[in-house]
Amino acid sequence: MPPRKNDDYMEVASDDSLPSDVDEVYNGKSKGKGKGKATERKTREKGKSKNNEQPYAWEASYVRSWDTVQEDEAGSLQGAVEDLIARNRRRRLLAPSTAIRRTIIRHLVLVLDLSSSMMDRDMRPTRFDLMLEYARSFISEWFDQNPLGQIGIVGMRSGIAERIGEMSGNPQDVLKTISERHKLEPAGDPSLQNAVEMARGSMSHLPTHSSREIIIIFGSLTTVDPGNIHDTLDACVKDRIRIAVVALAAEMKICRDLCDKTGGSFGVALNDGHFKDLLFELIPPPAQRAVSRAAGAGAGTSNPTADLMMMGFPTRLPNTSAPALCVCHSDLKSEGFLCPRCSAKLCDVPTDCDICGLMIVSSPHLARSYHHLFPVKPYSAVVDGAKVSPSNACTGCSSSFSKSSASSTITDGVSPFGRYKCPDCKNDFCTDCDVFVHDVVHCCPGCGK
């Protein structure tokens, strides 16, 4: 069919010509090509030059991200890289150093936008594929840091909310629900209200000590709601549900309101990397809100949210035990865990026992959450050359420090000597170890705390 073929060509051609079009527009701007456009712009600029601001993003000068990275005299990017590290350090220093109460038992509903706007290609390959990819890594990382939490998944498609995955504490189960791409094919419009109502409904039964959170990945600029979404918002505030939105397109007033009123965070992803950053910032357990504490004090009790939860510590069956059917998959296996209350055989912990509903954990899972409660103290940067300690090797990795200062410009929070000192044991650490100790190990090699 020749016409069809032509269509295809057209599509390809238009795809290719898109960037050059953009270039032309920018060229036109700077060099004054294209009379009609130029005059039109001139008149507009006249009015604008007085208040000296650019009202629209697309009228701003074309920012090239590679221009912001500056090479030093030797032509290396070391300075730029150090600046990035410094920014990370500063962000860590902003975090409160004393122990704060964090919600350890978390319940989260991840709301995925499955509307047709997710097929946009502004993020490669598509917003939808990128979202699925990041959602998967988000879920594994989330369970890694919050082993006692549970995740449910809700999709927004064709104006309704769909329950994609039930609330579950097993990462494999959750990942399985979003593993099949063809079942999640985007279509129609999203409905924020329906999705939030469904998520709220699935968390209504939860006890007060657990956190209730909704994370919405939102790619559309519209929402199709059956009623007043502000009523839903008020209900969420009443239920103490925290809503966080990661928008892929642009900021919407209602999304901002949802986050601000419920105490969540809102962010618009600029690009792929920023999308991932925004999503992964939501992984560490949030500090418990002062609201609950104040309410407890008002009621006269010490704290209403400190509850005792019943948990079972299972017996592990070794590889050599007699095979038996597990209750979760009905598979014949010799390995497994025995529920201490009903002696049912389970494949994996942590989970809720399928027979008696007891929460089954093992003690390492509890221990995994401890580093949120006892963070490592931030190291202070060694700035003063006179106070450099005599040791000439990093306490962590034993690599030697450079004798002279690496960079002449002193940035806030960055040591010119590449040395960072632990406030407790007074040992010096290199930049790599500083980041590694605080982000991964959560235990200082010098003082063992």
Residue 13 or 373 having the CB closest to other proteins: 373
Residues 318-357 that bind other proteins (CB under 8 A): 318-320, 340-341
Stretch that binds other proteins, among 78-86, 158-166, 235-243, 392-400 (CB under 8 A): 392-400
Render the burial of 197-216: b for 16+ CB within 10 Å, e for the rest. bbbbebbeebeebbbbbbbb
Residue 302, number of CB atoms within 10 A of its CB = 9
Binding status of residue 10 toward other proteins by CB under 8 A: no
Q: How far is the CB of 125 from other proteins (least distance, A)?
A: 24
**By CB under 8 A, is residue 368 in contact with other proteins?**
yes
The answer to whether 387 and 373 have CB atoms below 8 angstroms apart is no
Which residue's CB is nearer to other proteins, number 228 or number 315?
315
Our CB check for other proteins shows the closer of 256 and 371 to be 371
Sequence-separated (6 or more) residues with CB below 8 Å from residue 223: 189, 190, 191, 192, 193, 229, 252, 254
Can you tell me whether residue 421 is helix, strand or coil? strand
Phi/psi region, residue 295 (left: phi>0; alpha: psi -120 to 50; beta: rest), is: alpha
Least distance CB 434 / other proteins (angstroms):
10
- For other proteins, the binding residues in 159-218 under the rule CB under 8 A are 209-210
Question: Nearer to other proteins by C-beta: 97 or 409?
Answer: 97
Q: How far is the CB of 447 from other proteins (least distance, A)?
A: 8
Site membership for other proteins, residue 26 (CB under 8 A): no
Nearest of 49, 48, 22, 26 to residue 38 by alpha carbon: 26
Strands 315-317 and 324-325: unpaired
Pick one of 265, 303, 380, 411: the residue that binds other proteins (CB under 8 A): 303
By CB under 8 A, name the one of 140, 400, 402, 409 that touches other proteins: 400
Q: Which stretch binds other proteins (CB under 8 A): 78-86, 167-175, 300-308, 382-390?
A: 300-308
Q: Which stretch binds other proteins (CB under 8 A): 17-25, 163-171, 179-187, 358-366?
A: 358-366
| Tokens at 379, concatenated | 């190291």
Residues 43-82 that bind other proteins (CB under 8 A): none
Calpha distance 341→350 (Å, rounded): 15
Least distance (Å) between residue 446 CB and other proteins: 7
Does residue 64 come out as left (phi exceeding 0), alpha (psi in the -120 to 50 range) or beta? beta
Nearest in space to 416 (alpha carbons), one of 386, 373, 448: 386
Residues linked to residue 162 through DSSP beta bridges, in sequence order: 155
Of 85, 311, 324, 383, which lies in the binding site for other proteins, with binding defined by CB under 8 A?
A: 311
Compute the least distance from the CB of residue 337 to other proteins, in Å: 9
Amino acid identity of residue 300, one-letter, is G
Tokens 């892929």 identify what position?
248
Binding residues among 91-130 for other proteins as defined by CB under 8 A: 98-99, 101, 104-105
Count of residues in contact with other proteins, rule CB under 8 A:
62
Beta bridge partners of 110: 153, 215
Burial of 46 (0-12, 13-18, 19+ CB in 10 A): exposed
Contact flag: residue 2 with other proteins (CB under 8 A)? no
Q: Which of 44, 370, 409, 410 binds other proteins (CB under 8 A)?
A: 370
Count of beta carbons in the 10 Å neighbourhood of residue 102 = 17
Residues that bind other proteins in the complex, under the rule CB under 8 A:
98-99, 101, 104-105, 144, 209-210, 302-303, 305-316, 318-320, 340-341, 358, 361-364, 366-371, 373-374, 393-400, 432-433, 436-437, 440-449
